[in-house]
Amino acid sequence: MSRVLVLNGPNLRRLGVREPDKYGTTSFEELVALCRDTGRRLDLSVEVRQTDDEAEMVHWVHQAADERIPVVLNPAAFTHYSYSLRDALAQRTAPLIEVHITNPAAREEFRHTSVVAGVATGTIAGFGAMSYVLALQAVAELLAENPTA
């Protein structure tokens, strides 16, 4: 069973109460359960983490690179400005899927730029909590195609 880290940036622990018109009513705890259940179906061991701290996120990304762990990442606000996160992600040694609950391209102009996208394997956005399911499916497919990825 392959291990996958699902990393979430600022404010995502507030899912379900944070702007439900944009982010839906799924709570963070429900998102965690969805990711773990999806992982089990895909023969992935999924660990979900959330932080509001950029340094902690960078540390987790370094851990994933050192241990060759695939990452599903919702960088949240870090998406648009965190060059330290981008540089850490550039060191990845396994698939990296950038994920967003909303479609940043359909939102405010400052959200249109992702400093993460250029170092990600791919990006999935705009499908609500289903974005995470799609991202985990992508990781499973990538690992099946190249088990040493």
112 an active-site residue?
Answer: no
Catalytic residue among 23, 81, 83, 132: 23
Closest CA to 95 of 2, 1, 12: 2
Catalytic residue among 80, 100, 112, 132: 100
Distance CA 8, CA 77 (A): 10
59 an active-site residue?
Answer: no
Find out whether 115 and 86 touch, Cβ atoms under 8 Å: yes
Distance CA 16, CA 33 (A): 14
Find out whether 79 and 126 touch, Cβ atoms under 8 Å: no
Distance CA 140, CA 126 (A): 20
Amino acid of residue 94: A
Q: Which residues are marked as active site?
A: 23, 100
